[in-house]
Amino acid sequence: MSQAQGYAIELYFDPALENQVLKAWNVLARRQISTHLIEIESRPHITLFSSPNLLEPSKIETLLKTLASKNEPLSLAFSTIGTFPNTTNNDDNNINAANVLFLAPTPSVALLNFQAQLCDALKKEGVEVAAEYCVDSWIPYCAVAQQVPKARMAEAFCVLRDLKLPVAGYAMDVGVVEFSPVREVFSVVLGSSNVEQQQQQQQQQQP
């Protein structure tokens, strides 16, 4: 069994929103523009935190359960298509690992606060948080293509424009994965403890 290259904490969507993102992945794959996300067995998500270091699952699970219990599902609206500037070039195949196309959500206060709460909790557990995930630096996005050949970036943009943005829904779960390939370690439903408390109260009220 190969050793994990890193760990990430990710935000997952409701089924309808996830399917909208998967449609984009599949269209780009059928056109042979990018199949990377499918090949590494990823799932549509927004990365809240990532680290090359080993995360202690028991500590992180307790931390995420506490955080999830204090937050309801987050409203999301993917309103723009974007990419990151390339910093290196691969002359052999004209493909850059940074050739990423993504859907960017409108950065709501609730989403930004949730990610900030997560990083604060991680720091208290002694986990190092990279600058890109700190407040005022984190960029929320959902990747729809990676390692896109430079010559096909424009075509990929045109494909994504057919999505008829904005695409709206909810972030329902937060989970930890190791990569690559992607393997989910565990996930927690947002507002899960509130649901459990309501169920317990209903059971107690029943004659």
98-114: average pLDDT: 93
Q: Are strands 183-189 and 101-105 parallel, antiparallel or unpaired?
A: unpaired
pLDDT for 10 = 97
SS (H, E, C) 65-96: HHHHHCCCCEEEEEEEEEECCCCCCCCCCCEC
Predicted structure pTM score: 0.85
Average pLDDT in the chain: 85
Q: What is the pLDDT of residues 50-70, one digit of tens each?
A: 998 867 778 899 999 999 999
Residue 149 phi, psi (nearest 5): -55, 135
Cα 155 from Cα 89, distance rounded (Å): 20
Q: What is the pLDDT of residues 107-156, one digit of tens each?
A: 999 999 999 999 999 999 999 999 999 989 999 999 999 999 999 999 99
Cα 87 from Cα 109, distance rounded (Å): 30
Cα 187 from Cα 177, distance rounded (Å): 9
